[in-house]
Structures are given as structure tokens and as C-alpha cells.
Amino acid sequence: MTTNTTVLDVKNLWVSYATDDGALNTVRNVTMKIARGEIYGLVGESGSGKTTLARALVRYLPRNGSISSGSISLGGVDLLALSQRELRKVWGARVTMVHQDPSKAINPSIPVGDQIAEMARTHLGMSRAQAKNKALEMLEKVQLPDPESVAARYPHQLSGGMLQRILIATALTTNPQFLIMDEPTTALDVTTEAVILDLVRDLLREYETAVLYITHNLGVVARICDRVGVMYAGELMEEGNIQQVFKQNYHPYTLGLLGCVPRIDASKHDIDLHTIPGHIPRPNALPDGCIFAPRCAMAEDACRKERPSLTEISDGHFTACRRWSEVADNIHIIAKDKSEEEEIDMSEIPLLLDARNIEKQFKVRRSGLSNIFAWKPDIVRAVDNMSIRVRKGATMGIVGESGCGKTTFARCIAGFESATSGDIFLNGEALPYSIKDRSKSTLKKIQLVFQNPDASLNPQHPVGQSVGRPLALLGNVLQSEIDQRVRELFEAVNLPADYVHRLPHELSGGEKQRVAIARAFAANPELMILDEPISSLDVSVQASLMNLLAELQKEKGVSYLFISHDLAAVRHLSDWIAVVYLGRIWEIGSAQDVFSPPYHPYTEALLSAIPIPDPNIHQERIRLQGSVPSAVNIPSGCRFHTRCPRKIGAICETESPTWQNVNRFHSICCHIPLEELNKLQAPITVEEREQP
Amino acid sequence: MIAYILRRLGMILLTLLAASIIIFSVTQLLPGDVAQVILGQFATPEAVANLRAELGLDRPIVVQYFDWLIRFIQGDWGTSMVSRMEVRPMVMARLRNSLMLASVAILMYVPLGILLGVISAIKEDGMADQLISGISMAFAGLPEFVTGLLLIGLLAVSFDFLPANSSIEPDTPFREAFQYLILPAITVSLTSLGYISRMTRSSTIDVLRSDYTRAADMKGLPRWQVLTKHVLRNSLLPTVTVVALGIGWLIGGLIVTESVFGYPGIGRLLVYSIQRRDVISIQAISMVIVTIYSFSNLIADILYGILNPRIRLGG
Amino acid sequence: MQSAQPAKPVPASRMARAFKRLRRYPATLFGFAVVGIFFLMAIFGPMVAPYKFSDQKLINKLKPASAEHLFGTDQFGRDIFSRILTGSRDVFSIAGSGTVLAVLLGLTLGLLSGYLGGMADEFLMRLMDVLLSIPPLLLAMIILGTVGPSRLNIVLVVGFLYIPMVSRVVRSVVLDIKTREFVEAAKMRGESNFYILFREILPNVLPPLAVEASMRFSYSIFLVASLGFLGLGVQPPSPDWGMMVSEGRTWFNLAPWVLLYPAGTIALLVVGVAFMSDGLRRMLLPGGVSN
Ligand code: SF4
Ligand code: SF4
């Protein structure tokens, strides 16, 4: 940032793929520059061409892909003029890459240290011993404890966060001019992500590398990037520095994307999320004029005639919108305030689900040399004494990181797993643990929407049949009535009626999830368990699904048990929130209370870690070190003590903390007195916008 | 790791036990009486009854089974009902010959199969791949008696290049036997070659498409280094197991091929024994084959465990 | 990440697309054609054969191919072409019925084993392991050597031998499908086991099963031909291809065609089936499931 030498200079780049349907131009006319020491964020939804662009930049395209025109210069070298052999000398030396899923991007059968050292040997001409030292040095750089022992390990012996550090270390070994990071934290938990992002930011300052940071997460961009380019359907829509793009954007798509992201300080009662109607066009079916026109709220006839090109409006701020100057005036299209909704006294609402002291243990056998005679299996305490209540027509959000037991808990409620102990009451009536022992009428009352839309619909059944089946099961229903109901349900989830005959593979992910929601509602349930229903989808699709869920809830009075790792989504949809760590709840209360001080130290860390798409947000920098202990050897005392940044001393290690009530509904389980917590902790705030 | 080996070993012993039950019961179901077969059609009923008693055939079948099994394990495999010779030395001599043939074949088809598979994978869907895949699929499908006879026709008869008949003396030393081994070995190899190359191809393609191969490419390592160090190390791992499983094929191939070439191996002996209904020999030969097959799988499993850090180090 | 992805066009039909892809693989087309021709041959061959397969004309023995005897004659002066035509019916019916038997039993066991899980699964799979521990040809030989090689016995043996392979494939698909969310959704709305097994799971088992069946068919032909060669196939006077090859060996120097035509026929059919099965795999399992 201090110097302004251009490292990467791309001009009018076109990339196309040869497919059965002819040539597809997936990246069109992209021009961009990245300077030394600059972190350039490239955001876009799936299908935007961002990954293709990244691979084209280093000329590492799949066999059927090619660069059809344009130029790429890296540090003054014309990359397109290089032979394959010369290119390999550039790869690894002048440009490196950090891939998305660290557990897949590292060779499983080579010790990780060797995989860093081979970089040094190939490009720095080091001897075996020198390279080994270099590897250790790099491991230290990325703050891995005990580099010697880490270097000798294989990937399966290390956690995701550690592996991602190793990938970063590898990429920086040769001190490259240019680094591409492709969704490097997407596969990680939010607290790990925060630590890695800090590390990346610090290291890159030190190395002064030019970085292309690809992500779908606007919050991550706001946290670590200097400049940002917004891609849509293969073209750049807007480009500028962080303040320009986040605070004074000139493109309706950027504005729309920002409006899709749920906010940490508002819920479904306060706002509707913005949605972007329609789909990204396929590269072989682009509209004539502005490619965003079919989905743009500000489109007018002139937009559909001629395609606007990316133009510089002010100092480094580019947009591909004709009506850029009016975008700021249209801010209302994304902020749908509904604060006039009246508050209801929640304690008045009757309980629907009352789950008490649920425990679930699994037995696993250990393998390995030392365990030949360990015939006694290990006990995994996946869920260890969790209690929650869900009120009628309300949403209980359960939030926690992967492996915390939230999904197992939900599956116990649903009856897929038989709880080891505890009580489940629905409408005051005790439910058997297993789905096999529950009556048909009870089964109907609880429905589930799953995470993976691909797996939740039978690929061999037309989707209409999937939705109609729960109705047919009721018996005594005429086929014509079923068809009628299916049409209604499709309408309720905003799917065209003629979709009923389609097979799942003919639908997009968001559409499949709508079908899954329709199917769940077909049974007219009282409790709907939503297990990460939106996590695998793009932000704009997420937003429309969250709106849909909120709307359906209001209409049908159904209760939701919403399981998610995404704090903002949980905040948006939930009336109540429970925070889970290592199989237990640590804080529970109304959504608003849980997300404002006093917090449990773990909640506080989560809130501080979550990337918020606003460059001016102020979050305390609280980071969790290490990784979650295994559910086999749960730490003594407060089970969070191994990582708790606020740990007060030996008492945390020896004694289990007890519940403290903040108010009638809000409780925290920690040794630190509430007044103390209140004093220590700060709410998340947004600074007023500085005028550029 | 040791636990792993012990577990595998236990499994295999149990499997062998079960297989021995199958073999014993199948052969004991023989219509017609073993004693009758030995003595011929015209023997008196008394003579047959005497021989039955002598052979222990009048005892309950379970007792006979355990008696047979225990003797087999002790190395007493009985006397052939046809040649009246001890079965064990005969089987062992033939086994040596078959192992000789099998080794030559394995040395041919395993390296070649791997090589072709890897080339195929690297050139996925290209000309070379289609050619290799097509040809190896064709060969994999051809019964050995077809390829064997065609080879004889082509190489031995037409060009007088190699001996067409391999009916050598059972105890010919390897050095002398070698030239007789080549054609049968090629014959057996052709079937297994396709199998090895197809499996290698598919595992290599998987690895070539993996993120870590891409990452290795992007590290700018020379292509051959990416291939040898990153790709093959992972893609050839399953090949260890594939080769061992292929031994089952190989054995089938040997039985047919030895018959085609008149080679004095265990397969030829088996065919002969079946034609003569020599139950005692059939049982012994079957047990030997099954044991070898099982143990080659055990060795492959152990090797796989040693080569794969996930199993070696647990986790 | 999924999905604000481009609106997917509805493909005209899955099969049409599959065929479009197929055109790039001439070997597959060849395979389908060969199998088709042989199939017709098996049905109509014996009717259109110029001679009866057992007609002997000793003066005419060991004659090379001519207009009268397309593939020449054998040591008894029988018309080889007619014998091959007639023999094709046995090959198809025996290998075919054997395959069908193996597929039906394997499917049943695989479904049960995969769906029930637990002890039943463990028991069945160990049983399959035992069967697999004996090389197929060896087991076939000792069984047929014992009970005698009648048509029915060969069919039963082929069917029996290939149960483990089929049931393993089915089981692995069931295990995969069983944990998919759509099956859980079905349980959630109280569907019967019957519905889940046959309506939710079975349709997903069929495509890989079809591929497996075609492969089994090619192995069955291989096995039946080899057994014939070893004298454990359909017994004379029926014209068994493997047997024809075996007998032809005696006359090889004198009249190679006695051996070559049946051997070539076997080769063509086996290769055809293998190519067809590979093509089916490409069409039905585009994800590229390896064996
Ligand atoms: S040019 Fe028109 S259609 Fe395109 S983004 Fe701007 S306002 Fe919308
Ligand atoms: S009890 Fe101690 S360790 Fe646990 S959360 Fe509170 S301060 Fe942290």
C-alpha cells in the first residue's frame, strides 16, 4: 500500500470453455491491476467466473478452457508469451496459490514439512538441509507451535486451521510477487477463520505481496482487503477501494448484495432482507444490454439496448452501470424497515417443544498400535445435557461451530438418533426417543429441512411427487386434491407450477431447497427443524430463503428449531438463541439479549470473530487459540477453559460454572459475575462514515 | 498397525476355514462312491465296503471333515485315487511350476499394466487413452484359450519362433524351462494386463484431479516431479490391493492356459484330477490354491497399511 | 458454494444427451452393434442355419471356407457356420440366465444386507468374503466336476458364483443412499420400510446395477466358454463354442479354421459385451464411478 508499483496488470481478458453446447465465454473483458502490497478482493456468487478468472491469470485452466484474448502481465513479464516450461518457473516462484479446502490441497502421503521444503529446493536452489530449515522458519512465521514436530506430520494428523497455515507458509516460502487466495477460510470455523485472517493480514503487510483474494463473503473482504472488484456473470460490475464500494457504491448489484446479508443488529421483525430476483444468465444466453438488467430494480429501456462498459467515475472507482449516480438515492430498495411491528410479550406464548437434559453418547473403537488391548471403546459425549424450549410460532436458534453437537441434538429431537437420556415433550406430551416408536401423528408434527439440497430430494422422483407424497400418506385424499395442494405449496415457496414434473437435477440449489421446504410444510408440521438449511447457498439465495421462512412462519404459526453456524443468519431468523460449545449450552436467551453484553466469553469470541460487511464496524479483537478439544476427553471444570480468553484462574479448571440469570429469559453459565462481564465487554458498534 | 495385521490374519484364517468346508462338502457330494471309483465298476460290494472302512468313509461326515482338515494341516494330504501316489509331493512339484509361470507373468503384466494405466490417465480421453483402454478392455475380455491359441498360431506355428507346446518334464530347472514359459506367460498376462491398467487409470485420474495435484502444479515443480512424487505415490497405493485381488483372475487364467499349452502346473493337474474324479487330489489342490490366494491378499493388505500413513500412524 | 448459478436449461431428455456424448466413443457403438447382432443370431440363428449342426458328411471333412460352407467344415464334415449359429443360443441362454440369476439374488442380498445393517449385514458380507476367497473358475470346476455339467447346472453355478460381486455393488449403493436426507425425510413422515426400500432406494440402485449386470454378462460368457474348453460345458453333441475350439486344436496344423472361427466368434462377442458395458457405464454413471 505504501508503494504503488503495479504487479499484476490484466487487460481485456476473455476466457472461454469448449463444451458440448459450444464455446462458453465465462470471463469477459476483465481489466484489473493489483499493486505491490495490495490485497484485492474479488467477490461474486457462484457462476460469476471468479475462480475461472483466477486460474486464467496464472494460465492454469482445465483442458477445455482457454484464454481467447487480452493480456496478462506479471511484474512486467507477459504471461501469455511464456512456454509451458517457462510458466512452471513462474509458478511457485513469482506467483503462488492458496486453495480453498486445506484438507484436500495437501498431499496426504507426504510429511507436511517436505511439502514446504520442496518449494525452497525447486525455486530457491537450496540443499536438502537448507530447505528443511527454511520450512521450519516458515512454520514459525505462520505461528505454528513446535515447528519441528509439525513438519514431520502427515495432513491427517493436523486440524483444518493448522493445515491452512501450512498452505499459507508454503505459498510465502519463495516470497512471491503475486499470491492468489481462493476462498482460503471458507472451509474453516468462524473463530479459526478470524485467527487466520489476522495472520494473513499481518504476514502480507510484511511480505508486501500483491494478493488476489477470492471470496463470496463480503464480510471477509471488508475485514482484510484494500480494493475490491465485484464480479457478476463473468464481468466486473464495480471496482474501487473498500470505502467506495461498501459505503458509496455505484452499482445496483453491489448494493443488492450488501442488502442480502443479514445484520447482526437486526432481526426478521425489524427488516426484510433484500433479494435479487432471477438467476445469473448463462454465458451463452446473455441479455443484449446490461447483463444485470433482467434482475435490476433500476433498469430502464436504455439499459437493455446497449451494454455499459466498466468506466472510471472517480479516483480508482469503476462501475459498469449507466445510472451509477442514482444508486445512492435508491438505498431504500434494500432497506425494508418493518419496525412498526408490535412487540409481543414472549412469556405469554405457550411452549411447543420442551427438551430436558438431553444426552447422546456414541461408542467408538480406537485403532492404532497402543490400543490393541484397549477393548473398552471410547465414549464420545456428543450432546451432554442440553435443554431447550421452543415456543409456539417462535424460532429457537442453536448456534455453534462444527462438531459442537448441535446437529446431533437436532437429530435426537427428530428421532433419527435415539437420545441416551433426557426427556422430550411436544405439547406437553412425552415423545419416545426413536422415530420408530413414534406414532404417525407425532411424526407429522415434526419435520426437517436438511442442509444439502442435493441429497434431500430423491434424484429419481419428480419434485412434485416428493412434495405430494406426505399428503398422499394421509390416506383418503383424492389425487386431484393432492395436485391442487402441491400447486399451492409450490406457489407458497415461489416456484413456478410447471416445475412439478422436473427432476431434482434440473433445478438450482436454491430451487431444490424451496422444494424441500414445500415438502416439509406439506405435512402441516408444528415444529420444523432447520439444519443449516441455507449454508450451502449463495448470499442472494440465502436471503430469499430466509425471507420465505420468516413469511411462512408468520402465515402458518409454525415453530422453528434453527441450527446454524452462521451468527448473522441465526440473529436474523431467531427469537431465541442458544450458544453451544462441546455438547453443552453456555448462554441462552432472547436473540437481542444474547447478542448484547453481558455475553458468555464464548459468545463474545464468536461475535468478535464474525466478519461483518462494513469496513467501519468496530469489533473487539478477541481470538480463540488452539482447537476444540475432542468430545472423548472433555476438559475438567468449565469445558471452555482450554481456550477461554477471559479465564479467571484455577477455579475454571476445577469447578463447573453455574447458571447466572441476567433476566427472566437470559442466562449465562460462567464463573465471572455478570457485573464484571458487563464492565469488560463492549457491544459491536459502527463508526459514523468518514467522508472520503 | 500390529493390531491391524492381527485382525486381518484372524479374518483370513476364519475365511480359509469356511472355504475348506465349502471345498470339502462340494467334493464329498460326488455322485458315486469314492471307493467305487477307485475299485472300478466291477468290484464286489464287499470289496467296496472294505475299502470304505479302510478309507474311513463310513464315519459321520463331520468327523471325516475334521479328520481331513487336521491331516491337511499336518501335511498328510493322502494318496491319489488314480495314480496311487502321494498327493503332496506331486502337488508341490506342480505348484513350483505354476509359481514359476505366475512369477514370469506377474513380472510382465504388473509393470506394463501400471505403465499403460498411467499413460492412459495422463492422456485422459485422448487418442492414446482410447487406444490403450480399448485394446486392454478387449484383451481383458478374451478367454485365455482364445488368446493362447491365437498366439500359438501366430508366433509358434507361423514363425516357428517359440515352442508351441510347453509340456516339459515337471522338474525342469527354471533356466531350461524359461523358453517354454514365455508364450503361456504372455497369454495369462494379456487378461490381467487390462485389469491392472484400467484400475491404475481410474485411481490415477482421481489423483490427477485432486486439489493437491493442482497445488503441486501451482508450486511450479517440474511436471515429472509432480507425477512421480505427488501423483503416483497416491495413485499406486490402491494398485497394491488391485494386484492381489487380480491373483484370483490369474489363477483362473493359469488353469486354462496350462491346459492350452500342456504345461505341467497345478492347474493342469486340477483339470486332470477333475476329469478322473480324483477327489483326494482335487481337495488338496483347491486348498493350496485358496490358501495362496488368501495369503497374497493378506500380504497386500499389510503392504498397503505400511505404505499408507493413515493406517500406519492411525488417526 | 451453490447456486445463484445460471438457470439450468431443461435438457431435452437425459437419454438424448447421453447418446450425444456416446458418439464420441466409437468403441461403445461397436459394442452395442455386436451385442445386437449376436442377440438376433441367438434367436433366429438355428432357424436360418444352412445345415443342421449335427449333420455329418465325412467325405466333406476339414474343408476350408467356401460358398457352400461359409466357415468350412470340421473333422466330421459338419458345417462350422451352422454350428456356431446354433451354439450362440446356448451361449446367450446359459450366460444370460446365469447373469439374471446372479443379479436377482445379488440384488436381494445386497438390498437386505445394506438396508438392515448390523449383524445381518456382517454375516452376509462375511459369507460373500468366503465365496470370494475361492477363485471363480476353480469353484465352478469343482462343482461342475462333481454334479456334472448339464445346462441347468452351469446356469446355477454361474448365478451362484457372481452373487457376491453383484451384492457388494448393490450394498455399497444402498449404504450410500440410505444415509441421504431424502430417505430420512421419508422416515420422518412415517413411510413403511417397504416404501423406503422399493420406492426411495431401489430406483437409485438400478443404474449402477445395470452396469454391473452387463459386466457380469461378459464375465459369464468368458466363464462359460472357458468351462466349455475344459470339457465342463454343454456336452456333445450340442455345439459348444469352447468345446469346438478345444476339439479344433487337434487339427490345427491341418485345418486351422476349425479352431479359428469359433475362437474368433467368442472373441468378438466377449469384446462386444465389454465395450457395451463400458458404454453403459459412461451413459448411466456419468460421475465416473470406478469399480
Ligand atoms: S445499467 Fe441499468 S440495468 Fe444495468 S445495473 Fe445500471 S441501472 Fe441496472
Ligand atoms: S468459567 Fe472460566 S473458563 Fe469458563 S467461560 Fe467463564 S471465565 Fe471462561
Report the distance separating Cα C285 and Cα A246, nearest Å.
45
3-state SS record for C216-270? HHHHHHHHHHHHHHCCCCCCCCCCCHHHHHHHHHHHCCCCCHHHHHHHHHHHHHH
Task: Note whether C290 and B242 are within 8 A (CB).
Answer: no
Q: Answer whether A584 contacts ligand 2 (Cβ < 6 A).
A: no
Tell me the pLDDT tens digit for each residue of B149-172: 888 877 766 666 667 677 777 777
Q: Are residues B269 and B190 in the same domain?
A: yes
> Mean pLDDT across chain A, nearest whole number?
88
Q: Which of C20-29, C91-100, C217-226, C268-277 has the lowest mean pLDDT?
A: C20-29
Q: How many CB atoms lie within 10 A of CB B148?
A: 27
Report the distance separating Cα C184 and Cα A435, nearest Å.
10
Report the distance separating Cα A392 and Cα B233, nearest Å.
58
Please report the pLDDT score of residue C3 as a whole number: 37
Q: Are residues A473 and A493 in the same domain?
A: yes
The arithmetic mean of pLDDT across residues B190-209, rounded, is 90
Q: Are residues B102 and B62 in the same domain?
A: no
Q: Which of A463-477, A610-624, A677-691, B288-302 has the lowest mean pLDDT?
A: A677-691
Residue A613, classed as helix, strand or coil, is coil
Contacting residues of A for C282, CB less than 8 Å apart: none
Q: Are residues B210 and B248 in the same domain?
A: yes
Instruction: State which ligand 2 atom lies nearest to the alpha carbon of A602.
Output: 5
The arithmetic mean of pLDDT across residues B264-272, rounded, is 91
Please report the pLDDT score of residue C156 as a whole number: 92
Q: Which residue has the higher pLDDT, A216 or C62?
A: A216
Contact A47 C2 (CB under 8 A): no
Here the CATH number for the domain that contains residue B260 is 1.10.3720.10
Looking at the 3D structure of chain A, how many domains does it have?
5
Tell me the pLDDT tens digit for each residue of B86-115: 888 889 989 999 999 999 999 999 999 999
Cα of B310 to ligand 2 centre, how many Å? 36
Residues above pLDDT 70, as percent of chain A: 94
Q: Which of A363-372, A596-605, C43-52 has the lowest mean pLDDT?
A: A363-372
Residue A376 confidence class, pLDDT cut points 50, 70, 90 = low
Please report the pLDDT score of residue C21 as a whole number: 65
B78 domain residue, yes or no? no
Contacting residues of A for B218, CB less than 8 Å apart: 58, 60, 91-92, 96-97
B260 domain residue, yes or no? yes
Nearest to B271 among C130, C230, C290 (CB): C230
Contact C184 A459 (CB under 8 A): no
Q: What would the DSSP string read from start to end of A193-238?
A: HHHHHHHHHHHHHHHT-EEEEEES-HHHHHHH-SEEEEEETTEEEE
Please report the pLDDT score of residue C288 as a whole number: 46
Q: Are residues A317 and A466 in the same domain?
A: no
Residue A71, classed as helix, strand or coil, is strand
How many pairs of residues across B and C have Cβ atoms under 8 Å apart? 145
| Interface check A675 vs C, CB under 8 A | no
B69 domain residue, yes or no? yes
Residue A312, classed as helix, strand or coil, is strand
Task: Note whether A26 and A230 are within 8 A (CB).
Answer: no
Q: Are residues B191 and B274 in the same domain?
A: yes
Contacting residues of A for C181, CB less than 8 Å apart: 450-452, 455-456
Which other chains touch chain A, taking contact as 3+ CB pairs less than 8 Å apart? B, C
Q: Measuring CA to CA, how many Å separate A620 from each of A265, A648, B215, C189?
A: 16, 19, 35, 46
CA atoms within 13 A on the CB side of B83: 13
pLDDT above 80 (res A345): no
Cα of A276 to ligand 1 centre, how many Å? 13
Contact C182 A416 (CB under 8 A): no
Bridge partners of A11?
A: A71
Interface probe, candidates A60, A61, A88, chain B, greatest B C-beta count within 10 A: A88
Query: pTM of this prediction?
Result: 0.86
Please report the pLDDT score of residue A344 as a whole number: 63
Cα of A309 to ligand 1 centre, how many Å? 11
Q: Which ligand lies nearest the alpha carbon of A319?
A: 1
Q: Which residue has the higher pLDDT, C238 or A573?
A: A573
Please report the pLDDT score of residue C62 as a whole number: 66
B314 domain residue, yes or no? no
Q: Are residues A407 and A509 in the same domain?
A: yes
Q: Are residues B102 and B234 in the same domain?
A: yes
Q: What would the DSSP string read from start to end of A182-197?
A: ESTTTTS-HHHHHHHH
Q: Are residues B15 and B117 in the same domain?
A: no
> Mean pLDDT across chain B, nearest whole number?
85
Assigned superfamily of C31-284? MetI-like (1.10.3720.10)
Q: Which residues, judged by CB distance below 6 Å to any ligand atom, belong to the binding site of ligand 1?
A: A 252, 290, 292-293, 296, 298-299, 303, 308, 321-323
Q: Are residues A357 and A488 in the same domain?
A: yes
Tell me the pLDDT tens digit for each residue of A398-452: 999 888 899 999 999 999 889 999 999 999 899 999 988 888 888 889 999 988 8
B259 domain residue, yes or no? yes
Looking at the 3D structure of chain B, how many domains does it have?
2
Please report the pLDDT score of residue C47 as a whole number: 74
Q: Measuring CA to CA, how many Å separate B199 from each of B196, B203, B206, B239?
A: 5, 6, 11, 7
Here the CATH number for the domain that contains residue A509 is 3.40.50.300
Task: Note whether A103 and A115 are within 8 A (CB).
Answer: no
Task: Note whether B149 and C249 are within 8 A (CB).
Answer: yes
Please report the pLDDT score of residue A621 as a whole number: 86
Q: How many CB atoms lie within 10 A of CB A337?
A: 11
Give the end of a domain, one of B73, B107, B136: B73
Q: Measuring CA to CA, how many Å separate A649 from each of A629, A636, A645, A654?
A: 19, 13, 11, 9
Q: Are residues B7 and B98 in the same domain?
A: no
Cα of C179 to ligand 1 centre, how many Å? 46
pLDDT above 70 (res C103): yes
Please report the pLDDT score of residue B34 as a whole number: 66
A584 domain residue, yes or no? no
| Interface check C186 vs B, CB under 8 A | no
Cα of A287 to ligand 1 centre, how many Å? 12
Please report the pLDDT score of residue A365 as a whole number: 64
Please report the pLDDT score of residue C2 as a whole number: 36
A230 domain residue, yes or no? no
Q: Answer whether A641 contacts ligand 2 (Cβ < 6 A).
A: yes
Give the end of a domain, one of B73, B98, B120: B73
pLDDT above 90 (res A58): yes
Between strands A227-232 and A351-364, the pairing is unpaired
Q: Which of A342-356, A556-570, A646-660, B207-221 has the lowest mean pLDDT?
A: A342-356
Please report the pLDDT score of residue C100 as a whole number: 95
pLDDT above 70 (res C69): no
Q: Are residues B39 and B186 in the same domain?
A: no
Tell me the pLDDT tens digit for each residue of A166-210: 999 999 999 999 999 999 988 888 999 999 999 999 998 888 899
Q: Which amino acid is at A630?
A: S
Contact B4 A60 (CB under 8 A): no
| Interface check B259 vs C, CB under 8 A | yes
Q: Are residues A418 and A318 in the same domain?
A: no
Q: Answer whether A647 contacts ligand 2 (Cβ < 6 A).
A: yes
Instruction: State which ligand 2 atom lies nearest to the alpha carbon of A645.
Output: 8
Residue B205 confidence class, pLDDT cut points 50, 70, 90 = very high
Dihedral pair phi/psi, residue A214, rounded to 5°: -95, 130
Q: Are residues B53 and B93 in the same domain?
A: no
Q: Are residues A423 and A557 in the same domain?
A: yes
* Domain coverage including residue B298: 88-307
Q: Which ligand lies nearest the alpha carbon of A325?
A: 1
Residue A43 confidence class, pLDDT cut points 50, 70, 90 = very high
pLDDT above 90 (res C19): no
Task: Note whether B220 and A93 are within 8 A (CB).
Answer: yes
pLDDT above 90 (res C106): yes
> B178 to chain A nearest CA, in Å?
39
Report the distance separating Cα A124 and Cα A133, nearest Å.
13
Q: How many CB atoms lie within 10 A of CB B137?
A: 21
Residues above pLDDT 90, as percent of chain A: 55
* Domain coverage including residue A319: 255-337
pLDDT above 60 (res C12): no
| Interface check A105 vs B, CB under 8 A | yes
Please report the pLDDT score of residue B50 as a whole number: 80
Tell me the pLDDT tens digit for each residue of B20-71: 998 888 887 655 566 666 666 677 778 778 877 777 777 788 888 888 899 8
The arithmetic mean of pLDDT across residues A362-389, rounded, is 71
CA atoms within 13 A on the CB side of A195: 19
**B-chain residue closest to C216, CA distance:** B141
Q: Which ligand lies nearest the alpha carbon of A237?
A: 1
Q: Are residues B225 and B104 in the same domain?
A: yes
pLDDT above 50 (res A370): no
Q: Are residues B170 and B289 in the same domain?
A: yes
Residue A228 confidence class, pLDDT cut points 50, 70, 90 = very high
For chain B, the straight-line distance linking the first and the last C-alpha, in angstroms and rounded, comes to: 11
CA-nearest residue, atom 6 of ligand 1 = A321
pLDDT above 90 (res B311): no
Contact A104 B212 (CB under 8 A): yes
Please report the pLDDT score of residue B59 as a whole number: 78
Give the end of a domain, one of B49, B73, B97: B73
Q: Are residues B11 and B140 in the same domain?
A: no
Please report the pLDDT score of residue A633 as a whole number: 84
The arithmetic mean of pLDDT across residues C144-163, rounded, is 89
Please report the pLDDT score of residue A371 as a whole number: 46
B313 domain residue, yes or no? no
Residue C99 confidence class, pLDDT cut points 50, 70, 90 = very high
Please report the pLDDT score of residue C157 as a whole number: 92
